Structure 1
Amino acid sequence: MGIHDGHREKMRRRFRETGLEGFADHEALELLLYYAIPRRDTNPIAHALMDRYDSLSAVLNAPVEDLQKVEGIGESAAVLLSLVARISRKARLADAAQETVLNSSERAGTYLLERFSGETREQVYLLCLDRKGKLLACKRLADGDVASADLNIRKVVETALLTSASAAILSHNHPSGVALPSADDEAATRQVRDALRTIGVELVDHIIVADQDFVSMADSGLLG
């Protein structure tokens, strides 16, 4: 038995009996790191993570490459930490998608804030809807914004056809900017709108997300 095994077993037993109730944020991290760092005291590593990122949420949403800058955090531990928030978000989105109705820009924007939460790369999504605004699918089309990404219009059309969509919402994020559409965004929007019209699908909005804010091009009168 290693020097830390007794303490680890006490922490695991405490979790089994009470969940995370009463655990400080650094203790929750310490417990999680047991499963990636088997032979080292993870308490000081957990403290170092909290010192660097200030909050538990920031730790779990930090990029893998940046996490590895913390002493004691190797690739396995960094990936484990990164997976926690992303798996949780994926599960919430899957649950929400069961009966998600996006029949207003406010509803669509709120849904997309969760979709892009913690995302550090620019990405483009197409939300496919039925006639009542129920979400049929949310498909990633490309990495990068609609101007810099290789936005494949054929893929847009195929995605709408495969989901039997009646309407669609285009969306992309500005991870390090503001949620304001550029001239390139407007041009790409018109291109997608016109392509979808050829198959009888209406592009009802293009929503741009940045941080905890979003802009609806439809509400802004920019959909054309």
Structure 2
Amino acid sequence: MGVHDGHRDRMRKRFFENDLEGFASHEALELLLYYAIPRGDVNPLAHALMDRFGSLSGVFSAPAELLAQVDGVGERTAMLLRLVPQIAQKARLGDLERELALNTRERVGDYLLELFSRERNEAVYQICLDGKGKFLACRRLGEGSASAVNLDVRKIVQNAILYCASSVILAHNHPSGVALPSQEDHAATLRVKAALESVDVRLEDHIVVADHDFISFSQSGFLR
């Protein structure tokens, strides 16, 4: 057994005894890297990643092509660093969806803040609900630049019919950090509302998410 093997065993023992309590961020990252790089000292790589991206959150949200620019990061390491946070997010969303009755703005907001937490560009999602406001499906409709996204009205109607939705919530994000809807947002919302009404489906809301905040078209009175 080499010196690094002994260090790894001690790190694993610390984790099994106390979870991540007492671990510095770079140590937690080092522990994770063991499962992509089975031999050797990965402490310098953990420090290099933290220095490059500034935080654990920065490491886990970095694109694969930027991760690969850090010396020592191969395909397996990049995949692990991309996979772990996405699995965690999928688990959180799954928990929310199982319990979900999107009948309050707070519940909708909690779900959407998690949903958009890993989006870098502007994207749009469609949530389909049944007659009691319970979750049926969530579909990503597309992605635009950091400042624009187009709504595919036909696809929105098709999804509503496919999932036998009674109502729909649209949501998109503003990566700029300003949640205020634009004139284009208002115009697109009216087009979607009219198209859904033609198949007897209600547009329950259109929500704009930015940073840790969101604005509801319905709450603001725009959909009345």
Give me the TM-score of the superposition, normalised by structure 1. Answer: 0.89
Amino acid at match of 1:167: S
Tell me whether 1:37 sits opposite 2:5 in the alignment: no
Tell me whether 1:68 sits opposite 2:60 in the alignment: no
Alpha-carbon offset, residue 137 of structure 1? 1.3
Alpha-carbon offset, residue 15 of structure 1? 2.8
Q: Deviations over 1:150-176 (max 9, x none)?
A: 532222112111222111110011223
Q: 2:158 aligns to what?
A: 158
Match of 2:11, SS state, is: helix
Q: 2:205 aligns to what?
A: 205
Identify unmatched segments of 5+ residues in structure 1. none
Match of 1:38, SS state, is: coil
Is the CA contact 2:128–2:138 (under 8 Å) kept in the aligned structure 1?
yes
Match of 1:165, SS state, is: coil
Tell me whether 1:26 sits opposite 2:30 in the alignment: no
Amino acid at match of 2:100: T
- Distance in 2 (alpha carbons) for counterparts of 1:148 and 1:212: 19
Amino acid at match of 1:45: L
Tell me whether 1:142 sits opposite 2:129 in the alignment: no
Is the CA contact 2:48–2:70 (under 8 Å) kept in the aligned structure 1?
yes
| Alignment coverage as a number of residue pairs | 223
Amino acid at match of 2:133: G
Q: Deviations over 1:162-209 (max 9, x none)?
A: 222111110011223411211111111111111110111110110011
What CA RMSD, in Å, does the superposition of the two structures yield over aligned residues? Answer: 2.2
- Distance in 2 (alpha carbons) for counterparts of 1:28 and 1:74: 19
- Distance in 2 (alpha carbons) for counterparts of 1:176 and 1:42: 36
Give me the TM-score of the superposition, normalised by structure 2. Answer: 0.89
Is the CA contact 2:122–2:148 (under 8 Å) kept in the aligned structure 1?
no
What are the equivalent positions in structure 2 for 1:104-115 lying under 5 Å apart? Answer: 104-115=104-115
Is the CA contact 1:125–1:138 (under 8 Å) kept in the aligned structure 2?
yes
Amino acid at match of 1:128: C
Alpha-carbon offset, residue 41 of structure 1? 1.6
Q: Deviations over 1:56-100 (max 9, x none)?
A: 223222222332333322333122112211110110101110121
What are the equivalent positions in structure 2 for 1:209-220 lying under 5 Å apart? Answer: 209-220=209-220
Q: 2:130 aligns to what?
A: 130
Q: Percent identity among equivalent residues?
A: 60
Identify unmatched segments of 5+ residues in structure 2. none
Alpha-carbon offset, residue 119 of structure 1? 1.6
- Report which stretch shifted further, 156-165 or 48-57: 48-57
